[in-house]
Structure 1
Amino acid sequence: LMAPHPETVDVVGKWLALHGLAEENITQSSADDWVTIRVPVGLAEEMLTTVSKEYHPSYSLPEILHDHVNLIQPTTMFASFKAFKSTLHWTNHTRPTDSSPSGSTITGPAGNQVDASCNSMITILCLRQLYN
């Protein structure tokens, strides 16, 4: 992705400041190509000239922003973000590499030869072999 033109950063920053948003209310992506703000619904409605209490498939921005803002999304979001956890499931089965002779293969769904260990565990090698 490309960083926005300095004029874009300036115009959008002034528009946000016009609505009382200070730098501490604004989070920018590391490439400065994405801005995240959290505002009360009433202020978002004012800024986007819309009403969130009813379904309206549109919003409005001042014309000066039209060449600088590509997307306002999501205008409403009620999610809470949680970190995902990795889950490992251990079985009592012997490891396929221990029980399969070295280099043994099976026929994959596309008719290609796939390492026999792919029957019971997925590795990067298995994914490469299965999906080419």
Structure 2
Amino acid sequence: MLKKISLLLIFVLLTGCSYLNQQAMRKIKNIRILRSIDTSYVPHDCCYSAVHNTVFVMQEGSNIVHIYSSTGEKNMIGGLGFGKNKFSKLSDITISPDANLLILDSFEKSIKKFDWEGSLIAEIQLKEFGRP
């Protein structure tokens, strides 16, 4: 039984390493700057939604996400707190497959989903996880 588990573990490690090697071979050939955004704060992370031509910028050292359209800053989400549009510890942002914004609050152990204008759509609780 131990031999079968060892072989399975070796197989998983080898296939995982080969997948990582394929990912490392992908190289960016060209980057085209669409526009620059001047901020009065230090950005921590950002995401771009090509569907809505919107940029989401997570502000360093705060619980705020800024939303920019082609005309400039459109809205802000967040601030310190426990309300629906507030965050206790903003940890990460990303774009969902349906082009909405997902925000991870690691203290509240939740993911909040916002539309491209900053309106809350849904919230998923991650209470069973030790540390999201």
User: What TM bracket, shorter-length normalisation?
Assistant: under 0.3
TM-score (norm 1): 0.24
Q: Which has a greater percent of strand?
A: 2
| Structure of higher CA gyration radius | 1
